[in-house]
Amino acid sequence: MSDIREDWAVTTVGQALNPDRFAGNQCVDVTDHFGECIFGVPWQQCVGGVRGAKDLLDRAPDEYWTRIDYYHGFIPERFDVLVYAGDDLNEWGHTAVVESADKIGINVIQQDGFAAPHQFVDGNWYSAKPAHRARLAYSARGTGRLLGVLRARPEKLRAGGTIQLQSASTITPITPIQEVEVSAEEVFNKKLTLKNGAESTFENQVLNISDDLSKVLKRQEEDRNYAQAVNGKLDGIINLIAALPTEVLRQKITTVDGRETTLETEVKWLPTNFQAVQSGGKA
């Protein structure tokens, strides 16, 4: 009698797995699918829902799995389910099913929720790449460190043979992408319906954006010219005041807001205050 896990490995690579029908082809979908196939019960029962792959060690029921936390020198066995901690690049963690392993790395069957090509589903862009073979490290950027593995309890495995899926449409057929030649003229003349309901063309939108950009650049140039003119006048005022006698510069004066100062002090602050106005109040 064949091992159901071997049957799973033979039939899974190249298939787009999505048991929960959410967020495209995620890494957790492989573990969910694996659990369904080898135990013969729904993934909700044998694996359980998780917020991210890193939660699998705590979430997977002991009835179906033996949890083994990673320790130095640990080498996973064939068909162990890897659980990674994630990192700053991937807060969700990662999971995959082991085909073989050594002290350097691990050969796995996996899906990668960040991998191209992408599909727009459930309001965002997610991976459309099907289950595939890969080699993972025990710790790496994007997966984080290996937290441990889930090892299927032998007594819970069902007999080998035809793969039976508990979730409808668990495997999504892969539709080949057909390349279609489209001329630039067709693209530019394609009609678009904008968010406000107005109709336009791609060409008109490009022209509108170009026009808006020209206006922005013109305004920036005008602002620069104005700033240069003000700077010139400012330099003239500073030079004029600096030419006054020292006793006049150091005579105490009261500003309109009631602050006591000297003309000499205010002259020193003029350039800084002007720069603060230009930058929106940040000196």
| Tens-digit pLDDT profile for residues 226-278 | 777 767 766 767 677 667 777 777 888 887 777 888 877 776 666 555 555 45
Mean pLDDT in residue range 129-145: 95
R_g over Cα of the chain: 33
* Residue 133 to residue 111: CA distance in whole angstroms: 9
129: left (phi > 0), else alpha (psi -120 to 50), else beta? Answer: beta
- Closest C-alpha among 38, 44, 46 to residue 8: 38
Q: How confident is the model at residue 1 (pLDDT cuts 50, 70, 90)?
A: low
Which pLDDT value is given to residue 283?
41
Greater model confidence, 219 or 63: 63
- Give the model's pLDDT for residue 234: 67
Structural contact between residues 82 and 95, judged by C-beta atoms closer than 8 angstroms: yes
Residues 6+ apart with CB under 8 A from 62: none
pLDDT interval class at 160 (50, 70, 90):
low
Q: CB atoms < 10 A from the CB of 168, how many?
A: 7
pLDDT at 149 over 60: yes
| Residue ranges per structural domain of the chain | 4-172, 183-225
CA atoms within 13 A on the CB side of 249: 14
Lowest average pLDDT, out of 55-59, 149-153, 218-222, goes to: 218-222
How many CB atoms sit inside 10 A of residue 110's CB?
22
Dihedral sign for Cα atoms in the order 45, 50, 53, 57: negative
Place of tokens 């963690």: 93
Strand partners, 191: 201
CATH code for the domain defined by 4-172: 3.90.1720.10
Going by pLDDT thresholds of 50, 70 and 90, the confidence category of residue 100 is: very high
pLDDT at position 258, please? 79
Model confidence at 140: pLDDT above 80: yes
pTM of the model: 0.58
Task: In whole angstroms, give the CA distance from residue 46 to residue 22.
Answer: 19
Q: What is the largest CA-CA distance in the chain?
A: 107
